[in-house]
Amino acid sequence: DNPECFKRYTMTHLCLTVLLIVSGTSTFTNADNEEKVNINDMVDMLLEDVTNSLSETNSGSVTVPDLERTFRKSFLKGGLKATRGVFSDLTTLKRTGNATLVLNDDSATVKVFLGLGKMQLEFGHCRAWLSKLSTSDRLTINVNRNSIEVKITITIDGDNCQTTLDDAKINEFGDLKVVLKNLGKIKFVADRLVDWIVNHFDDKIRVALESKLKSVLEKELKKHNLCSLLK
C-alpha cells in the first residue's frame, strides 16, 4: 500500500525487463568504441538469391585444370595424371557463423564466414603409376572442412551510400577424403596424393573459384539495400 515502495518496484521491474530484452536478442554490443550489429537475416536472404542464381544458370560447378605430377625415387619412377576435372558445388553455399556489421563514423564493415555443404573435386579419368604398377579410374576428392570469409564495406558520403565487396576468400580447404580404385597397391603415390591435390588447388583452382564467388556475390549484392542498415 506504500506508493513509494510501489514506485521503486515498478522502476526496478521496468529496468529488469529492458535488460532481459536487450540480453535476449543479442542485437548489438559495444566494444572498442564500435557498435556490432547482428544481420544474419539479411545475409541469409542474400545467400538464398546467390544460390538460386547459380542453380538457375547451372553454374554450381567449375571446370578445373588437369592435375599432373611425376617423381623419381632411387630407381623408381611414378606419377599421376588426372583429367576432365570439375569442382562442385557452389549452390550449397551457406552461412556458418554470425554475420556482423561493425559501425564506424562514416562507414560500416560486414563480415561473415560461409561454407559449402558439398565441396568436391572430381576428375573423370585418372591414371596413377609406380614403375610397372598402375591404376586407372575416376578420381574423387571430398573436402570435408572448408571455410570462406566474406567482407563488405558500406561507405557513407553525405547523402550517398556505396556498398563494396572487399573480399571473398577461401581460407580453409582440409580433411580431404580421396577415392581412387586400387590406389592402395601403389602406396608411394597414395601417400603423396593429398599434398598434390592441395598444391593443385592453391596453384590452379583457388583464384578462379574466389573470382566466381565474388562475381555472383557482387551481382546479387546490388539487389539488396545494405545501406538501409545505417539509416
pTM for the model: 0.79
Tell me: the pLDDT tens digits for 35-90?
567 899 999 999 999 999 999 999 999 999 999 999 888 888 999 999 999 999 99
Per-range mean pLDDT, top range of 32-41, 135-144, 174-183, 185-194: 135-144
Q: What's the pLDDT score for residue 33?
A: 52
Q: What's the pLDDT score for residue 54?
A: 95
> Residue 223 sits in which domain range?
32-230
User: Identity (one letter) of the amino acid at 170?
Assistant: I
Phi (first) and psi of residue 4, to 5 degrees: -65, -40
Q: Would you say residue 119 has pLDDT above 60?
A: yes
Residue 12 lies in a domain: no
Counted domains in the chain: 1
**Residue 145 contacts residue 130 (beta carbons within 8 Å):** no
Residue 47 lies in a domain: yes
Q: Would you say residue 28 has pLDDT above 70?
A: no
Residue 18 lies in a domain: no
Q: Would you say residue 27 has pLDDT above 60?
A: no
Residue 17 lies in a domain: no
Q: Would you say residue 112 has pLDDT above 70?
A: yes
**How many other C-beta atoms are found inside a 10 Å radius of the C-beta of residue 101?**
22
Cell of 40: 544474419
Residue 144 lies in a domain: yes
CATH number at residue 167: 3.15.10.50
The lowest-confidence range among 11-20, 205-214, 217-226 is 11-20
Residue 41 lies in a domain: yes
Q: Which of 218, 205, 229 is nearest to 167 (CA)?
A: 218
Tell me: the pLDDT tens digits for 142-183?
999 999 999 999 998 888 889 999 999 999 999 999 999 888
